[in-house]
Amino acid sequence: MSTVTTPKFRVSYPAVFKARKNDLNGKEEYGLVALFPKDADLSVLKAAAQEAIIKKWGADKTKWPTNRRNPFRDQKEKEKDGKLPLGHEEGAIFINLKNQQRPGVVDQNLQPILEEQNFYSGCWARASVNAFAYDQKGNRGVSFSLINIQKISDGDPLGGRTKPEDDFTPIKMEGGAAPSTTDDMFD
| Per-residue pLDDT tens over the stretch 35-48 | 999 999 999 999 99
Return the percentage of the chain with pLDDT > 70, whole number: 90
For 56-121, the DSSP string reads HH-S-GGGS-TTPBPS-EEGGGG-BTTBPPTT--TT-EEEEEEESSPPEEE-TTSPBP--GGGS-T
183 has pLDDT over 70: no
Quick: pLDDT tens for 43-97: 999 999 999 999 999 999 888 988 889 999 999 988 888 888 888 899 999 999 9
Which pLDDT does position 47 carry in this prediction?
Answer: 95
102 has pLDDT over 90: yes
- Whole-number Å distance between alpha carbons of 124 and 135: 32
